Every structure is written in structure tokens, then in C-alpha cells.
Structure 1
Amino acid sequence: MRFDIGQDQPRDVPVQVPARNEQHDPHHDKEADEDLRPGAVERQEERKRESAHCGNIPVRWDEDTSILDCKRCQSQSGEYLSKMVFFLIILASFTYPARGTMQTQTAKGAGNLSARKKWARFFVGALLICSLAACGGGATNGGSPQHSSSSSPSDSGSASAPSGEKKKLTVWFIDTGKRKELIEETIREFMDAHPDVEVVAEQIANDTYKTKLPVAMGGNNPPDIFHSWGGGWLKAFVDAGQVMDVTGKIDADRYLPAALNLATFDGKLYGAPLAMSLTLFFYNKEIFAQYGLEPPTTYDDLLHIIDTLNANGIAPISMANKTKWPGALWFIYLANRLGGSDIFNAAFERRGGTFDDPAYIKAGEMIQDLVDRNAFVTGFNGLDFDTGQSRQFLYTGKAAMELQTSGYLTVVRSEMPDFESKMGIFGFPSVEGGLGKATDLVGGVSPVFSISSKTKYPDEAVELLKALTSKELAQRYVDEAGVVVAVKDVQYNDPFAVQMKEILEQSDFLQPFYDQTLPPEMAELHKDTTQALFGKSMTPEEAARQMEEAAQRLLGK
């Protein structure tokens, strides 16, 4: 089996933080009293600035205790300072002028400055230098200086956690149902095996996540490990320097090349894949049987099914297109079936193809023909997929089928397990006269887990990344969630997973989702124009023209 997907193509386990060590610190009461005096804020900021020069790792100003959290500094600074203060007192006894004997130096145009003030400045400056020397002069065995704390996490390794605390990692993911449970269980097992690490995982709804992660990245507050679909969506973060290079840190041979390619840019690896996502029809077998219908092999067969179901008061196809991407699945498949497997790549890579190709215009016309045939449930452009509005039509027998990604199975098993026995799957049919094959698939990889370049604990993050994309978890995804995975050497027993694997093996081309491949501006335009096609508020020619104009501006002539 071969996947020719082109070059550079994209698509709560809340854990309580352990309580701090509440042992009494003799410095704490003193500092607390200081905080009640005028200038407390300025003094605290000054102490923070001084602590930033420490060469011993870790260095952290602790807001709770108002002390410098550097164990080497705490032990050495007392020793250094006591010796230097004693030395300065002895020096002062010989060099400090007797009271009343100081002479005032006067410069033209300047105010007077007493020798006593000069001495005081010297004394304080000397103390400050001594304190910094005590904090920065520590050496490792053999006398080598400590690494500077300005080193990047991926270069210098993980920092140590503050005293009394665990190393904390955050994980954001979108998987639901059984897949969510398996991820959470894997994280708990990881924490059991790494008692010094605490992991806080947050499951976020798909469309919310697409907004929340970019905001977190832009705000310099990203999760340590995050979900992506690889491809252009991930590459945008890679280009911004926000993703850790894991080349050589994980075993790339454990994953399917077609999946791994979506996390590889300029020969470097920026994530690891867990599961594949295939776009298929999910249908109600009982309704099909009731009206003598079989899964279609040609587009004309599909139109016959639509007309038959409409004639019997059943909505043929359910869809929730409020978030635009469900309708885009139809557009991508129709463009592929009409224009062939290279239609997108030729336009995207600017090698003779365009986004106003006649096949794209025809795909828009076919979408609007489906709308005119009442192929979809009423109000489909305003229904929300994440809240299950489209699935309810299938569960209640009011609609017969829905074109969706393979994660649909996991959601059904979680929401309405009784419906699983009624459900079947089939691929998108061929279009007569088109260049695309009936075996061509639209899909991607989900999730690809990546590590933020800002993580404080890169070593532990890599170990967690391995656990989240392990063969063990992949096997459970297959057995318990019916998912086709991107990990090698996994056995398939779940009936749905076996069928999806067979569909995948029959295909020699996988078209990644457009919105995970295109630059962000074009990706949004693609979804906007597709939704407008379904709403019949834009002509196919206008939609194609807007896409090609954006391509010329963003991708080049």
C-alpha cells in the first residue's frame, strides 16, 4: 500500500497540585514584616532582579515565602556573606575616617557629596557583589561553572522542580468518548511510573480548541503537549519557533510513513502520530433495508437513494455545518472525484493547477444541486456538530446517513451505544466521467501530539509523548475505540476497525483536509466559501474566483 499525499501537506484529568511544605522559615517573618513597610513592592522587585543573575539551577523567586528558591545559593550565600562582612568590618576599622575629620570635595556646578556617603555606597556595593558571587560562583564537580539558566529547554534538558513540588506538565487534546478515557488512563499510568511528575490534562471541544491553542501560543502560555492534525496547521506553529524538534528523541520507525510525513518539515520531526482519520459515510442499515437500498458505488446510485428516501419522508443526509468543516468534506470529495488526485496539489504547489479549475466549479454546482434535491436535513447550515445535533437525526431514524470522519464511531459508542448495531459504513462513490478513483480517500492524522518549545521539562515531556503514541495505547484505540492507528505492528479485531483498515489498504491516495493544509487565511476562506455554496448565497464561479485570487496573493502566481 502506498500513500502519495504530496509534499508538506497538513489537517479532565485534573490533578491536584500537592500542598507546599509549610515548615517554618526563620526568614519568612522578617520578610513579611518588611512587606508592611513603605517601598515593599520596590524591594521585592529588586530582589527578583537580583535573583535572575543566579547561575545555579533552579532559580525561582517564591511569591509565597518571599525567599530565593535556590538551594545552593541558600547554603553558600550565608557562608560567603558572613566571611565578607567580617572582612569589611575589619577593613572599616582601619580605613573609615574618624568622626569630624572628613573633608568635602566640591566640583564646579555640582552639589557636595560627603565622603561618608561615598563610603556607604562602597560598603553596600561590596555586599551586593559578594552576594552575587555567592549565588553565581557555584561550580559542579571538577570546578566547571553551572549552565546558564538562559539555555533553551530542548538544549539544556529539564530543570528541577521547586523544593517540595512535582514537575508539572499540561496536555491539551480533543478526543472524546472512549478515546478520551484511554488518554486519561495512559496519563495516570505515566504519573504512577513517574512519581515526581504531575500531569494536568484538559479535553477541549474540537472547534473551541482551534481558537484556544493559537491564543495560548500567542500569549506565550502554551500547554507542554498539544494536539494537532499535522500539516499546515502544525507548520504555522513550527515556523514561529513554538514547537520542539523531537528528531532523534523518538523512534520514527514505529509509525506509518504517511502519517509521520504530516509532522515532518525541512527534514525535522515535530510530533508523533497516534490515529488516522478517514472520511466515510455512516448510515442506518435498518432504514436502507426497509426501502431496499444498498450502499452506493456510483454518484448516480447516491442520487437514487436520496430521491427514494425523500419520497418516503426520510431526510437522506444529516449534516451540522455551522462550523463549516463538515460541508467542506463534501467539497473535497467531489473535487477529487471530478478532477483526480492531483487537483489540489497542482493548485496548492502552483505547478499548473488553479483553484478556479473547472472541476472546482463543477463541485460547487453539484453541492447546490444536492441542496435543491433536499438531500440534507432542514437547517443544516446552522446546526452544531460538537453538540450532537446532526447525530440526533440518525439516532431517531429521521435521517439515514452522514458523511463524517472515523471519530464518529467513538462518539456514537459514547452517546448512543444501542445505535452501533444499526450502523454501517461505506466510502464516497465514484463520479462517472471524473478522474478520481472510488478508492481515493479524504482524511488525515488525528491526533499528532507535539511538544511546546516553552516547556520547562523537555525530558519528561518527551517521555509522555512516547506514552501517548505508544503501541500499547494504539492497540487499545483499535480494540476499544474501533480506530485505525498510525502506529505499526498493531492487530485489528474490532469489526469497524477491520473494515476501515481494509478500506485504507485498498487506497493508494489519501487527500488531507484542505483546511489543515492551506495557509490559515486561505483555510478560512475555503470553509467560508463552501458554507456559502451550501447556503446558495454564492455562485460556484465566485467561490472559485475568490480562492484563486487568494492563492495568487498568498502562494504566488
Structure 2
Amino acid sequence: MSEQQVINFAVLANTKIKEQIYRDRARDFEIIHPNIKVRLIRLHSKNYPDLLAELLAIRDEVDVINWFASNRLKTLVDNGFVVDINDYWQENYLDFQFKHASKEQVLFNNKVYGIPLTSYIWGFYYKISLFKRLGIKPPKTWPEFIHLLDTLEQNQIAPIALGTKYPWQIAGWFDYLMLRLHGADKYKQLVKGELAYTSDEVVLVFNYWKNLLNKKYFFAQHRFFDGDELMPLIYREVVGINLIGSFSLSSLPIKNQTDIGFFPFPTITDKNENSVLAPMSVIALTNNGAKKSHLIPFLQFFNTNETQVFINERLSTFSPKQSARIDGRPIIKKTAEIFEAAHYHSQYFDLEFEFEMAEYAKKAFSDFINHQDVDKISTLIEQKRRAHYSIKDK
């Protein structure tokens, strides 16, 4: 078979199950196009610099890539690795298929560089039967949220689940407090390194966080758990609520998942700030792939409702494309509706901030859970910001 009839498809797959999902779909494409062979390349490094190095080492072998959206996709754009698909986007009327908030995550310098494929949102998961027994409802405002935490504590249940064995989950708290208190524009300034961590805005975030810590709402044994290990504790009523993504549902048997509910991070100010943490993956075309005419049918195949449904149902995620959502599970349906209504989709701290800053800050957040010193954490991360972005004192 000639090279012109091969598609080299690199896929983010940190598990064999995820790899098999994409492999099965690639096989379906081959059935429809018997003269084209799809060669799947699994990208599975857990550390982002290693993952990026793994990809760039084989850049000449990749035609299409499944990758992160937003700043991580921009890295590939800046490296000249992927090309824009503006013509494809316009000719297929994708502006009518994806909300603007989703398009923003693949748009750089007014050019589109990827097709949104999967997404999920971070929010609070809880046990429905527990809430019913205690007579409490999912909160919408901050006072209602505090009342919920107090009620759980009064019933000898650790209010907030948390795992800091590896400090990735904890960043969701910083993200949502920053978004709810100050909105997407201030959050974007911080992502770009344009806002000081000693500013009034960021200090306020840490003070809100400290108030929760002072009241001992967080699970005391957090340092012994990873974020992925907490959902069974929700089901066993050891802890009350867990701020995490829908991927965490996989740690529960399907029969137990029906008793798990979801509510978004509550509002804090009267601005009713409507942003969500919604990590997204995309399909992007590389420079190599742009030279091959048979890549367009492949992009088209991964933009069909059938393919988007196939992948998302199996990953417990949802398609950013509204017409490709038929997952009957109430919890997936609800998270998708919240995603659709949001004005801004953050990709989560890990994927928004430059890697070095993100790694340093996550460790600082984890330390903050223990020392609760607002001046200490804001000063330390500000020093890192100034060094990282080569900001000199005035």
C-alpha cells in the first residue's frame, strides 16, 4: 500500500481502554474507505513535557492528532506543527455546529486549528440519596453552599472530598474561586502572566479558600488520596461532595453511578459569572497531513455525530457539538447542558497556564492547605511569576 493511502493518527491515550476506543473507530473508517489504512500512534506519557517531547520526536510521522484544546493546542500552532482548517470550517458551516465558547478554544489569530471532539466539566458530585435523607438541596449561592457544608459536618460527614497525594485536583478550587469572584477576563490576565498573585484580586481568592480551610471543611486525610480515588468515599458517605470531572465516575460500578448527582460551582458575587472548567480534546491536521488529499474525509468522519457519540459515550464525556449528544445518563445530560449555557470554557489550570508555572503553583496550593498563610502563598507564587516572565522591579 502506498504512503498516500496511509493516515498516521496520533492519539492521547493514557489507558489501553481509551486507545481501543479510537482504534475501533479508525477501523470503522477503514471499512468505509477500504483503500485507506489508519496507523494509530498512542501518546501516553503522563508528564506534559514528556508528552510534548514524545510528539515532537515523531512530528514527521503524524498526519492527524488528537490533542488538548486552548493553550496546549497553541503550543503546536507556535511550533508550526499543525495547520489551520479555516476553509474546512467555513465550507462545512461549523459555526452553526459549535458554540462560540467552544470555537474560542481552537481559534488563534482568527484562524481555526482543530475540530472539538470531547469535553467534560468540573463541578460537584454528591450522593443523591444522602442529600434526600438529610433534606438538603444542591446549592446555587455561596451562603447556600456554606449551609450545605455545615449540614454535612453536623452529620459527621467530612464535607469536602480532596486528594493531594498528587496535587492536580486541588487547582480546580483556585480556578473556580478566581472565576466566580472576578470573571473570565481577570482569569485570562492571570493565565497570561499579566496579573500579580499579590494583587487584591488573587489575595481575595486565597482568603475565601482560607475561610473554608479554617472551618475544617476539607477531608482531613487528603494527603493519603489521589483525586481519582475519592468517588467511592462519596458513595460510602465518608465525604459529602467532590469537585472533579466526570472521568471520576469510572471508579464506581455502573449500578452505583445512578445515585450520584451533580451541581455546578455556586455563584459568589451578584455578577452571576457563568464560566465552567471544561477541558476539551480536538482533532487537528498537521503539516504532513495537509499534503494528503485523503485527510479531509478523515476529518469529516470524526466530525460526524455518529463518531462523536461513539467516542464520548465510551469515555463518559460529551461532545461539544450539541447535535451529537444522545447519552441517556442524567448526569452526563446535565453537565452537557451546563456546558452549553456557559459563556466561557476554561481548560483547567494544568492546561491553561504554562507548564512550569502550573507545576509550581499546584505544589504551592497543596502546601497552602496545610499552612493556610495567605501572605506566604501569594508572595511565593508572585516571585515565581516575576522570574518566569522576566518581570523586573520598577
Tell me if both proteins adopt one fold, taking TM over 0.5 as the criterion: yes
Helix, strand or coil for the counterpart of 1:448? strand
Output aligned runs, 1:159-198, within 5 Å.
Answer: 160-161=2-3, 167=6, 169-174=8-13, 182-195=21-34, 196-198=36-38
Paired with 1:302 and 1:354, the residues of 2 have a C-alpha distance of 29
Match of 1:216 among 37, 42, 54: 54
Tell me by how many angstroms 1:403 deviates: 0.9
Deviation readout 1:260-301 (Å, 9 max, x if unpaired):
221222233222111333221111011222222221222233
2:343 aligned partner: 508
Helix, strand or coil for the counterpart of 1:198? strand
Compared with structure 1, are the counterparts of its residues 391 and 529 closer, same or farther at alpha carbon in structure 2 (3 Å cutoff)? same
Compared with structure 1, are the counterparts of its residues 430 and 539 closer, same or farther at alpha carbon in structure 2 (3 Å cutoff)? same
Compared with structure 1, are the counterparts of its residues 348 and 447 closer, same or farther at alpha carbon in structure 2 (3 Å cutoff)? closer
Helix, strand or coil for the counterpart of 1:317? strand
Output aligned runs, 1:40-189, within 5 Å.
Answer: 160-161=2-3, 167=6, 169-174=8-13, 182-189=21-28
Tell me by how many angstroms 1:188 deviates: 1.7
Give the percent of matched residue pairs that are identical in Structure 1 and Structure 2: 20
- Whichever residue aligns with residue 214 of structure 1, its letter is L
Output aligned runs, 1:340-489, within 5 Å.
Answer: 340-348=183-191, 353-385=195-227, 388-409=228-249, 411=250, 415-431=252-268, 434=269, 436-437=271-272, 440-453=274-287, 458-476=292-310, 483-489=317-323
Compared with structure 1, are the counterparts of its residues 332 and 241 closer, same or farther at alpha carbon in structure 2 (3 Å cutoff)? same
1:542 aligned partner: 376
Asked if the contact 1:178/1:480 (under 8 Å) is kept, the reply is: no
Task: Give the count of matched residue pairs.
Answer: 384
1:260 aligns with 2:103: yes
Paired with 2:314 and 2:335, the residues of 1 have a C-alpha distance of 14
Deviation readout 1:166-197 (Å, 9 max, x if unpaired):
73624322487997765343222012223330
Tell me by how many angstroms 1:418 deviates: 1.4
Match of 1:311 among 154, 157, 169: 154
1:498 aligned partner: 333
Asked if the contact 1:470/1:487 (under 8 Å) is kept, the reply is: no
Paired with 1:555 and 1:528, the residues of 2 have a C-alpha distance of 21
Asked if the contact 2:19/2:42 (under 8 Å) is kept, the reply is: no
Paired with 2:361 and 2:79, the residues of 1 have a C-alpha distance of 23
Please, what TM-score do these two structures have when normalized by structure 1? Answer: 0.60
Match of 2:83 among 236, 244, 247: 244
Deviation readout 1:344-400 (Å, 9 max, x if unpaired):
13444577x533222322222332333343323343245223xx3222312333222
Compared with structure 1, are the counterparts of its residues 325 and 435 closer, same or farther at alpha carbon in structure 2 (3 Å cutoff)? farther
Tell me by how many angstroms 1:426 deviates: 0.7
Helix, strand or coil for the counterpart of 1:274? strand
Deviation readout 1:405-449 (Å, 9 max, x if unpaired):
24444x25xx41011221111111122xx3652x52322342112
Paired with 1:220 and 1:177, the residues of 2 have a C-alpha distance of 20
Paired with 1:191 and 1:248, the residues of 2 have a C-alpha distance of 25
Relative contact order (C-alpha < 8 Å, sep 6+): which is higher? 2
Compared with structure 1, are the counterparts of its residues 175 and 236 closer, same or farther at alpha carbon in structure 2 (3 Å cutoff)? same
2:39 aligned partner: 199
Larger radius of gyration between Structure 1 and Structure 2: 1
Instruction: Say what the alpha-carbon RMSD is for the aligned residues.
Output: 3.4
Paired with 1:176 and 1:487, the residues of 2 have a C-alpha distance of 25
Compared with structure 1, are the counterparts of its residues 176 and 392 closer, same or farther at alpha carbon in structure 2 (3 Å cutoff)? farther
- Whichever residue aligns with residue 319 of structure 2, its letter is V
- Whichever residue aligns with residue 403 of structure 1, its letter is L
Which consecutive unaligned segments of at least 5 residues does structure 1 have?
A: 1-158
Deviation readout 1:5-31 (Å, 9 max, x if unpaired):
xxxxxxxxxxxxxxxxxxxxxxxxxxx
Paired with 1:219 and 1:176, the residues of 2 have a C-alpha distance of 21
Paired with 2:302 and 2:11, the residues of 1 have a C-alpha distance of 12
- Whichever residue aligns with residue 241 of structure 2, its letter is M
Please, what TM-score do these two structures have when normalized by structure 2? Answer: 0.82
Deviation readout 1:285-343 (Å, 9 max, x if unpaired):
11222222221222233233323323333222222333423111111111222223432
Match of 1:228 among 67, 89, 104: 67
Compared with structure 1, are the counterparts of its residues 288 and 347 closer, same or farther at alpha carbon in structure 2 (3 Å cutoff)? same
- Whichever residue aligns with residue 532 of structure 1, its letter is D
- Whichever residue aligns with residue 362 of structure 1, its letter is L
Match of 1:291 among 112, 126, 134: 134
Asked if the contact 2:101/2:344 (under 8 Å) is kept, the reply is: no
- Whichever residue aligns with residue 448 of structure 1, its letter is V
Helix, strand or coil for the counterpart of 1:516? helix
Question: Which structure has more helix as a fraction of its residues?
Answer: 2
1:322 aligns with 2:157: no
Helix, strand or coil for the counterpart of 1:278? coil
Paired with 2:282 and 2:14, the residues of 1 have a C-alpha distance of 11
Paired with 1:382 and 1:469, the residues of 2 have a C-alpha distance of 41
Which consecutive unaligned segments of at least 5 residues does structure 2 have?
A: none
1:272 aligned partner: 115
Asked if the contact 1:327/1:534 (under 8 Å) is kept, the reply is: no
